[in-house]
Chain A
């Protein structure tokens, strides 16, 4: 075994024994440190998980969505617009989409009404039938075979038989969803037969998406074209920003902890001072004492990091990050209840390690050096 390896093994051995001799003092520090890592880790794991969910949700969206605009506001698209697009090279499918929001006074919640796409045979509906999301079913106590009654703004009643419920795995996107047939949607919302909410376009080659959108924009100059990549980029930026902002807020707590660590490392007990004096008296040099003390700090740091990270994992993926949910996710009456898909990302973990280990090690350096460079006779006296 190389001598430097042996030296550090023995130093670690000594550091562990030294830490265990002062259980209460080090235990308190470890608990506070773990709490800090837990909070920072929860924020980061939750941010990453929710970005992943958003990406998974968007994977089913059309590559390009075209929205008619009038006076800068969203307007209806028409069958004529779809015909104007005609056949474009690279675009495999164009379809007018029907969807909208409905405020339900009975449950004081907003539902998303949607007509399932024609090619989605699994969710095909006959007039009078509906498929509802997990949140709607929960709020209105619905089961398959039951009836959902909706009242439009004009007082028109729509009676729908619940055909089935959407699986809760897709709850993030479908919690507030009410799928209805096209005739029901048009009559309930009072829509003309040739208008659509917007137009969805499928592009088979992902590298041609922006070109396809560009070509389509030439045929429909008054329209706004949003690509799936644009939406993904917006989600990524939004959740990263929220996560970073929350981390910056907690930087105050981190700073307070760094000051605590500095203070703890500075305030050596008489017993510790004597111990260092004896070590130097029997031949340890300043470098050895610094190395041993840095190992003590390193062991506390790594233990707190691992414990904090494991607790944060449990908090986020087993308890759905109940302490952070409203801040990062947003809120509404019908907010979906969905378990986050457990995942640990190397980038997030390394970032967490940078945030938690580096400031602590930096904070204890000067006090450790001060203690280690004291004269042995002065320290023992």
Chain B
């Protein structure tokens, strides 16, 4: 199946990204060992010059990784027709043991990439490379993830065989099924919705606090990550039921299909964007503010927090709309 065009494109991008990440990590180790801004030695000047190249390469890699997550899921959904038993992306991902791990690794890369891009942007705002060490330590943490995601994705694509019989989403997302998917599905509609809307209220309150007291941005960042998990659980256990108007259809991927008006895109885009903006807000809030970013950092934190809050609110509005517009009545 490796000759399927989107698979070729995804493999090309992931291999390029992995190679760039390995090369950038080697440079990161060198930089962390030898960086001395006060030195005028030639090696320091060379390091400074090469940071621009690494930043540009990694910005390209991270942007490509963000886009490749969307293509990966979209392609998995489209390939469902090729496997017996598959009806959406879940069936395609289930067709190999590497499918779901590859998706989870790509999700991790997505959020790590958004975090790194924000730190890189903040660093480029100061003339004295204020966050250079943080940025390259972070790069050393992100690079293995990029390589792991590329490896899992390649293993997944190589393992896909046309004669595989796979299971559809109703098998995976069924209450009582052992594993994470079963746990998420069996959360209970009432619990999930209470958690979702209470969580959203608390998160927006934390966001308002972070706007007032920038030191509390870290709390907002942690809250964004927690809310993402709660939101996904709520989508699987309750919101999806309202969209499908079916009390037992819990699939989070069928929402992306035309039959349901591509509602998943309206739901997931603000959720992912809100988390991708909230995480760096929290991370940057944790750092000691460098003097050269004195005026820039608070403004950046504010923009990230406000953007994230707006995205989460849009997600909440769509979730509420799905419940309101549905003909399914779960609570009499």
Contacts and interface: CB of A to CB of B under 8 A. Distances in A.
Interface in B1-58: 1-10, 12-13, 16, 20, 49, 52-53, 55-57
Interface string B51-77: 011011100100010011011001100
Interface stretch (A63-71, A242-250, A318-326): A242-250
Contacts of A350: 6, 67, 70-71, 74
B187 interface: no
Q: Which residue of A232, A244, A354, A373 has the most chain B CB atoms within 10 A of its CB atom? A: A354
Interface stretch (B78-86, B148-156, B244-252): B78-86
B12 A286 contact: no
Contacts of B78: 347
Contact of A354 (B1, B4, B9, B55): B9
Contacts of A359: 12, 16
Nearest to A369: B53
Contacts of B5: 44, 47, 240, 243-244, 247, 348, 351, 355
Contacts of B49: 286, 373
A248 B56 contact: no
A358 B16 contact: yes
B12 A365 contact: no
A347 B256 CA distance: 13
A241 interface: yes
A93 B75 CA distance: 36
Contacts, number: 96
A236 interface: yes
B12 A237 contact: no
Contact of B13 (A286, A348, A354): A354
B162 interface: yes
Interface residues of B, number: 35
Given A286-B52, A373-B49, A240 B68 contact: no
Contact of B3 (A240, A286, A365): A240
Given A44-B5, A244-B3, A358-B16, A365 B68 contact: no
Contact of A233 (B53, B56, B57, B82): B82
A328 B162 CA distance: 20
B124 interface: yes
Contact of B81 (A232, A244, A361, A362): A232
A286 B51 CA distance: 10
B331 to A, nearest CB: 29
Nearest to A207: B87
A351 B52 contact: no
B4 A244 contact: yes
A63 B55 CA distance: 56
A38 to B, nearest CB: 16
A247 B84 CA distance: 26
A136 interface: no
Q: Which residue of A44, A294, A373 has the most chain B CB atoms within 10 A of its CB atom? A: A373
Interface residues of A, number: 36
Contacts of A355: 5, 8-9, 12
Contact of B60 (A233, A236, A237, A362): A362
B9 A362 contact: no
A243 B124 CA distance: 43
Q: Which residue of A287, A294, A369, A372 has the most chain B CB atoms within 10 A of its CB atom? A: A369
Interface in A322-373: 346-348, 350-351, 354-355, 358-359, 361-362, 365-366, 368-369, 372-373
Contacts of B82: 233, 236-237, 240
A346 B262 CA distance: 13
A361 B3 CA distance: 23
A290 interface: yes
Given A236-B81, A350-B74, A359-B12, A245 B52 contact: no
Contacts of A362: 16, 20, 60
Contacts of B1: 237
A358 B52 contact: no
Contacts of A294: 56
Contacts of B52: 286-287, 290, 369, 372-373
Contact of A347 (B8, B68, B74): B74
Contact of B74 (A210, A229, A346): A346
Q: Which residue of B5, B16, B83 has the most chain A CB atoms within 10 A of its CB atom? A: B5
Contacts of A44: 5
Interface of A: 44, 47, 210, 229, 232-233, 236-237, 240-241, 243-245, 247-248, 286-287, 290, 294, 346-348, 350-351, 354-355, 358-359, 361-362, 365-366, 368-369, 372-373
The 9 closest A-B pairs by CB, nearest first: A244-B3, A354-B9, A369-B53, A373-B49, A351-B9, A351-B6, A286-B52, A240-B4, A237-B162
15 contacts: A47-B5, A210-B84, A233-B84, A237-B82, A244-B2, A245-B3, A286-B52, A294-B56, A347-B6, A347-B78, A350-B70, A354-B13, A358-B12, A368-B56, A369-B53
Given A290-B52, A350-B6, 14 more contacts: A232-B81, A233-B84, A237-B82, A240-B82, A243-B5, A248-B8, A286-B52, A287-B55, A287-B124, A346-B74, A347-B74, A359-B12, A365-B57, A369-B56
